[in-house]
């Protein structure tokens, strides 16, 4: 299995020239965050990801996590790697300095997180979930709760989990039945079972802080009766709380990430502490879920990058067949046009969605400063990043197996692991069907397309900029983006129009609408990358080979990937009827 090398050149190109570090607000302590400063952060992170975490990926997948009498034991090497991750201060990067965080922007944090997820997604899941718990307590916890939990969660000394799903509920959280009985001291006794709890138990940290959805005795039925509770593994006096893992799921992938069934109240009930007000738990949990959805999209990019790097290495090393023009010498399979096509398909989609995700990160940072337009952009991009990048990951990791041929189907090579690991991403943190409904109804129909049309108008402005470049490759990009934009605009108009006639029609077309949108949004980011690359070339700056490759990769995306937006947009307008008439 090939090594992982963090794609620092592409990351820095995006940060410096496409997204723009210069757009970030000044850091309260560091001042202006520039390229040199970011490079000093990315380089040691890359070393940790490449040399310490990445080598664990395949062995950990083979061995998995184990449930023993006293709890879950993570795969060999995880504890040592986590110590290095924690002691390096990496867990504290994006969090508030008030409780020990480094207060660095998301635009810097996301490239770091991409490295952890590429290196070993089973390992990277733990800090990803911890991030959501920090955000939840920071936004909705009391001052006492913040003082009690945040410093150790931010440092990584403790970790956190999100406990939502139950056997009967799945994505429908209105069916939650876990109970919370109030106690005289202001605490609650939590009883019930949660399933699919990633890192519900492990041996990496001294304590685990669970955020748990449950119902108080007088709570109304449905989603309006859900409250949020903090349930620590160990209580303040050091005693073990009445919460434990009763099993580890046997999953398709992510074998080294312990996905636990958690039992609350095996004896007297687990001690829990109400976060905020009763019956507001679902609203509070969505605070954590929106950023988590961008993080899951980032996971899709990360695992796709790992699969691409492995496929590229294999294609350069595997000698098989001859070229059509030289029948005498056998060549590495990377010389065959169809293998080149597959590799370019992988590479171009990764780069498009990485750029889009980093664009969302910038808007997260601007929104935190009170920029309402940036918040609207984050809201729009969140379902597109989550669903677009995770669907892409499934396609790219599958293509990675195809590049390996029969060897890709053999676990020994490790190519299949990336596909297996990627498959959950379109399911958790809200299935991609749910993301599609979010885009259709909350982000498009609710304001009659105002936010979407503003975004599409910005993409239209890129066409004028592309017109200024006399390069046939750029002409291909311009024509493809123009055509795809027209089809997406027509699909948007159809969704809004149909919502006033038959509300089920846009629901039936929501997924192809999101797919078309993601392709066009990715195309727009490729266009921005081309404009940045051309500017550098014109000024004689940067690595010429890298910049030329950027343009060619964008041309491939425009001619092979972006045209698919038209078919999705046509499906939006013509495909709802048979769906609604289906009788199974």
Separation of alpha carbons 354 and 172, rounded Å: 30
DSSP notation for 1-55: -PPP---HHHHHHIIIIII-GGGSPPBTTTBS--HHHHHHHHHHHHHHIIIIIGG
CB of 153 closer than 8 Å to CB of 130: yes
How far does Cα 63 stand from its chain's mean position?
A: 25
Going by C-alpha positions, the residue among 49, 38, 47, 198 that lies closest to residue 116 is: 49
Reply yes or no on whether 429 is catalytic: yes
Separation of alpha carbons 152 and 209, rounded Å: 10
Q: In the numeric block, which tokens belong to residue 485?
A: 């934009």
Number of CB atoms found within 10 A of residue 139's CB: 12
Catalytic entry in 429, 515, 544, 548: 429
Separation of alpha carbons 291 and 15, rounded Å: 20
Helix axes 337-368, 372-404, angle to 10 degrees: 160
Classify burial at 474, counting beta carbons within 10 Å of its beta carbon; exposed 0-12, middle 13-18, buried 19 or more: buried
Separation of alpha carbons 349 and 507, rounded Å: 26
> Which residues 6+ apart lie within 8 Å of 581 measured at CB?
none
**3-class SS letters over 158-214:** EEEEEECCCCCCCCCHHHCCCEEEECCCCCEEEEEEEEEEECCCCCCCCEEEEEEEE
Separation of alpha carbons 14 and 338, rounded Å: 29
Separation of alpha carbons 38 and 17, rounded Å: 13
Going by C-alpha positions, the residue among 366, 293, 282 that lies closest to residue 25 is: 366
Active-site annotation, residues:
429
């Amino acid at each position: 299995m090939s090594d992982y090398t963090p794609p620092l050149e592409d990351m820095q190109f995006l940060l410096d020239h496409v997204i723009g570090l210069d757009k970030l607000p000044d850091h309260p302590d560091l001042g202006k965050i520039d390229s040199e400063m970011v490079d000093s952060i990315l380089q040691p992170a890359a070393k940790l990801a490449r040399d310490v975490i990445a080598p664990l990926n395949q062995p950990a997948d083979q061995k998995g996590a184990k449930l023993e009498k006293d709890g879950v034991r993570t795969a060999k090497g995880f504890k040592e790697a986590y110590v290095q991750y924690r002691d390096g201060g990496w867990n504290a990067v994006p969090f508030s300095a008030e409780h020990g965080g480094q207060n660095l922007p998301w635009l810097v944090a996301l490239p770091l997180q991409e490295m952890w997820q590429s290196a070993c997604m089973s390992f990277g899941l733990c800090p990803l979930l911890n991030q959501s718990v920090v955000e939840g307590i920071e936004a909705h916890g009391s001052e006492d709760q913040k003082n009690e939990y945040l410093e150790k969660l931010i440092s990584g000394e403790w970790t956190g989990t999100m406990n939502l799903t139950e056997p009967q509920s799945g994505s429908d959280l209105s069916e939650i039945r876990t109970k919370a009985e109030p106690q005289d001291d202001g605490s609650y006794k939590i009883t019930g079972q949660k399933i699919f709890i990633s890192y519900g138990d492990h041996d990496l940290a001294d304590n685990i802080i669970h955020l748990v959805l449950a119902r108080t005795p007088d709570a109304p039925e449905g989603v309006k009766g859900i409250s949020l509770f903090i349930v620590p593994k160990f209580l303040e006096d050091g005693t073990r709380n009445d919460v434990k893992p009763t099993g580890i799921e046997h999953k398709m992938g992510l074998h080294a990430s312990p996905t636990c069934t958690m039992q609350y109240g095996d004896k007297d009930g687990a001690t829990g502490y109400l976060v905020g007000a009763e019956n507001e738990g679902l609203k509070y949990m969505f605070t954590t879920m929106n950023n988590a959805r961008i993080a899951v999209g980032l996971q899709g990019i990360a695992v796709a990058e790992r699969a691409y790097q492995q496929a590229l290495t294999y294609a350069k090393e595997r000698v098989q067949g001859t070229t059509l023009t030289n029948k005498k010498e056998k060549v590495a399979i990377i010389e065959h046009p169809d293998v080149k096509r597959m590799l370019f398909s992988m590479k171009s989609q990764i780069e498009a969605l990485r750029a889009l995700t980093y664009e969302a990160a910038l808007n997260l940072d601007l929104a935190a400063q009170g920029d309402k337009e940036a918040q609207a952009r984050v809201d729009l991009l969140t379902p597109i990043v989550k669903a677009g990048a995770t669907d892409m990951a499934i396609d790219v990791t599958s293509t990675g197996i195809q590049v390996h041929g029969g060897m890709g189907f053999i676990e020994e090579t490790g190519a299949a692991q990336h596909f297996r690991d990627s498959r959950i991403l379109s399911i958790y943190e809200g299935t991609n069907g749910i993301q599609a409904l979010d885009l259709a109804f909350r982000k498009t129909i609710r304001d009659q397309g105002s936010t979407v049309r503003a975004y599409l108008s910005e993409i239209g402005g890129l066409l004028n900029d592309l017109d200024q470049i006399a390069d046939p490759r750029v002409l291909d990009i311009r024509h493809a983006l123009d055509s795809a934009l027209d089809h997406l605009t027509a699909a948007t108009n159809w969704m809004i129009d149909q919502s006033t006639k038959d509300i089920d029609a846009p629901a039936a077309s929501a997924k192809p609408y999101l797919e078309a949108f993601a392709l066009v949004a990715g195309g727009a980011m490729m266009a921005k990358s081309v404009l940045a690359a051309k500017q550098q070339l014109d000024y004689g700056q940067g690595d010429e080979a890298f910049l030329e490759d950027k343009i060619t990769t964008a041309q491939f995306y425009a001619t092979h990937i972006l045209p698919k937006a038209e078919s999705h947009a046509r499906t939006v307008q013509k495909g709802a009827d048979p769906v609604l008439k289906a009788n199974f």
